[in-house]
Amino acid sequence: MKGNFTTPCYLRDFSEVPQRSVQPEFLPAYHSLLNHVRIPIGYWAFEVSDGEPFIQGQLPYLEKALGWAASYGLKVIVDLHGAPGSQNGFDNSGQKKDYPEWHTQQSYIDRTNNIMKTIASMYRDRADVVATIAPLNEPAGYRGSDVLSVTKQYWLDSYGNVRYPYGSSRQSNNLVLVHDAFQPLSYWNNFGSNLDGVAMDTHIYQMFSDEENARSNDEHISVACDKASSLSSFHLWTIVGEWTPAATDCAKYLNGRGVGSRYDGSYPGSSRVGSCSSRTGSGSTFSSSYKTFLRKYWEAQVITYEKGDGWIQWTWKAENADEWTYQAGLTYGWIPQDPTNHQYPNICG
């Protein structure tokens, strides 16, 4: 249920930045008036079973990042981004698969619960920095009721593990951020209504279908603005935990390594909309009209998502896709230094 969680989440994601170069990135985030950093981490940072092809050693770097965040007064969301067996089959879960297996084996679920207990015990007394723990990123609820039933139970188990990590009735102060599993918010009506310290994470993108890629700039903006009602009326704190000012799937490898784009028709079975050459890459090559659209679309989303309880843009720095990159947006002008400084305050009417 909603309560006294007053920190607005002018947030951005901090994934995919080489650890050796992370520390300098916290300073521009601080100067950009952002207040949270989302740090994804895979289950293999905590334990690896025989036959699993993962290298460990991530936790010392996570600790360094927490120290740097604390030095700049930034809060951190620790996000479990990959689970044993994969919760969605996406490459960003650590295992690209045709079908996710996390929900199919109790041993996978048990391991994930144990990892969540470990994370909770690490940060139960550090909520001044690790303000939020996200138990699992993007479970594939669209796969059916078997995934959703496991996910619901896992959210409840994670709530107990994170909020009650002391083995008693004493609660931690870490917020528990659960994902909507790609279901409309209405699916989760009344979920967690009797719980303190829980929030809903929803991810909003408009480029993973032919229909979305074919939308005009104005249509993209309109669709974003239309999210305001559902975000503002949901019974839990609601954070748009991933979104982007990018409006196409042109970014290299966005759809997977070696997989093309729907926008330019190189994705198998897609219908070409136009060329990707002017839609992705370095912001220095973007036309003034494209940068104006990015600014309008960015503002429309920020204004809308603040009808909920905050937002986290994916991502701070992409390798070669500045339309996704918060840092590049600051450099080239489609993102303001102060995220409350809007050139189009009435863009959603």
Catalytic site positions: 138, 242
CA distance 37 to 65: 10
Query: Can you tell me the distance from the alpha carbon of 286 to that of 330, in angstroms, rounded to the nearest whole number?
Result: 14
Collapsing DSSP states into helix, strand and coil, what is residue 239?
strand
Q: Look at residues 163, 189, 190 and name the one whose alpha carbon lies nearest to residue 175.
A: 163
Task: Give me the residue label for tokens 């107990």.
Answer: 160
Q: Can the peptide bond before residue 280 be classed as cis, meaning omega within 30 degrees of 0?
A: no
Residue pair 55/38 in contact by the 8 Å Cβ criterion: no
Distance CA 326, CA 330 (A): 6
Contacts of 239 (CB under 8 A, 6+ apart): 9, 11, 177, 199, 200, 201, 202, 308, 309, 310, 311, 312
Residue 311 bridge partners (DSSP): 10, 240
Phi and psi, residue 115, nearest 5°:
-65, -40
Enter the DSSP assignment of 7: -
CA torsion sign, 271 to 272 to 273 to 278?
positive
CB burial of 173-202 (b: ≥16 within 10 Å; e: otherwise) equals ebbbbbbbbbeebeebeebbeeeebbbbbb
Q: Which residues contact 197 (CB under 8 A, 6 or more apart)?
A: 3, 5, 163, 171, 173, 174, 175, 176
1 CB contacts (<8 Å, ≥6 apart)?
Answer: 192, 193, 194, 195, 196, 235, 236
